[in-house]
């Protein structure tokens, strides 16, 4: 790992944070706890540490996303329709506001040698992606900031949970396409959920603008995705993603900041 930032700062990636090929949200300001950018109190911020594994991720990738705002971001230009533990997001992305700088971020952990150093990129967003692993279950990853508009903070840490295994529906392990019906509720079961962690599941359209996002307690082991939140994808191709995350929260001056560690995987699907 080279320890440098990619600096594009838009929050897009092949992972959770806001793109057509991954979990939509994080630093782009769209989806929820993990998916939702800093939509809490004002001012606020969020940092996401994401480890993608499996055939869908071409083996493995590690990403860091960060964004800080002086005001709540709302739904980031998305129309949100909730149902049960899930919500369907139809997004334009046009409401995204510029962030503010926290100076240089340094991400440290047992596998991050040397630590990852990120400077703010376009619109003062932070983004870094590497094909080298960033963490494994049980490791503590810490973040520090040198400070700018956002006061200096850290080191603040979060313990990475293990990757959950989706037992139903069965996602093709070789990178193939899985068929997902949209006319009935989708019943999920998973193993490996941990106490205190949050299991999440996302169905995303191939256009990167629409997605369904669901969360449950990690130890629930099962959940229901209402058909109403899948029906908009009927007859299209897209993706499913799942994983579980741990989050911690802290303050840097008046900024309420969340730090999240998320191992996840997914696959291509055909919605029918």
pLDDT digits (tens, 9 = 90+) for 11-42: 333 334 433 233 433 333 333 334 443 444 68
Predicted TM-score of the model (pTM): 0.86
DSSP assignment letter at 6: -
Say if residues 45 and 67 touch (Cβ distance below 8 Å): yes
Instruction: Supply the pLDDT for residue 15.
Output: 37
For residue 127, pLDDT beyond 60: yes
- Residue 115, exposed/middle/buried by CB under 10 A (0-12, 13-18, 19+)? middle
Say if residues 203 and 210 touch (Cβ distance below 8 Å): no
149: its two tokens: 């508009």
Instruction: Supply the pLDDT for residue 23.
Output: 45
How many residues does this entry show for the chain? 272
For residue 3, pLDDT beyond 70: no
Q: Residue 271: left if φ>0, alpha if ψ -120 to 50, beta else—which one? A: beta
pLDDT digits (tens, 9 = 90+) for 61-114: 999 999 999 988 777 678 999 999 999 999 876 556 789 999 999 999 999 999
Cα dist. 223→35, 165, 191 in Å? 18, 14, 12
Say if residues 204 and 239 touch (Cβ distance below 8 Å): yes
Instruction: Supply the pLDDT for residue 94.
Output: 57
Instruction: Supply the pLDDT for residue 95.
Output: 53
CA distance 43 to 157: 21
pLDDT digits (tens, 9 = 90+) for 162-211: 999 999 998 876 778 899 999 999 999 999 999 999 999 999 998 878 99
Instruction: Supply the pLDDT for residue 81.
Output: 94
DSSP reduced 3-state for 259 = strand
| Residue ranges of E strands in 92-236 | 105-109, 112-118, 126-130, 140-145, 153-159, 165-168, 177-180, 186-191, 198-205, 210-217, 222-225
Instruction: Supply the pLDDT for residue 12.
Output: 31
Instruction: Supply the pLDDT for residue 150.
Output: 98
CA distance 242 to 202: 6
pLDDT digits (tens, 9 = 90+) for 234-254: 999 999 999 999 999 999 999
Cα angle value 190/195/196 (rounded, 5°): 115
Instruction: Supply the pLDDT for residue 29.
Output: 31
């Amino acid at each position: 790992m080279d320890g440098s930032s990619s600096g594009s700062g838009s929050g897009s990636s092949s992972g959770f944070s806001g793109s057509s090929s991954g979990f939509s949200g994080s630093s782009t300001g769209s989806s929820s706890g993990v998916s939702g950018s800093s939509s809490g109190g004002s001012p606020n911020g969020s940092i996401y540490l994401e480890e993608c594994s499996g055939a869908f991720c071409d083996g493995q990738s590690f990403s860091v996303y960060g964004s800080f705002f002086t005001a709540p971001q709302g739904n980031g230009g998305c129309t949100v329709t909730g149902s049960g533990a899930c919500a369907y997001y139809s997004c334009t992305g046009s409401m995204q506001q510029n962030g503010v700088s926290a100076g240089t971020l340094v991400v440290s952990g047992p596998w991050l040698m040397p630590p990852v150093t990120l400077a703010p990129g376009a619109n003062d967003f932070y983004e870094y992606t590497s094909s080298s692993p960033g963490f494994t279950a049980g490791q503590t990853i810490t973040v520090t900031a040198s400070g700018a508009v956002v006061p200096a903070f850290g080191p603040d840490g979060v313990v990475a949970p293990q990757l959950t295994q989706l037992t139903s529906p069965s996602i093709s392990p070789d990178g193939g396409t899985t068929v997902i019906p949209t006319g009935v509720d989708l019943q999920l079961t998973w193993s490996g959920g941990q106490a205190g962690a949050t299991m999440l599941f996302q169905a995303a359209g191939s256009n990167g603008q629409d997605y369904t996002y669901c969360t449950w307690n990690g130890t629930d082991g099962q959940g229901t995705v209402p058909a109403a939140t899948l029906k908009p994808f009927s007859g299209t191709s897209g993706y499913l993603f799942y994983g579980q995350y741990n989050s911690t929260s802290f303050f840097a001056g008046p900024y309420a900041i969340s730090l999240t560690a998320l191992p996840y995987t997914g696959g291509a699907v055909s919605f029918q």
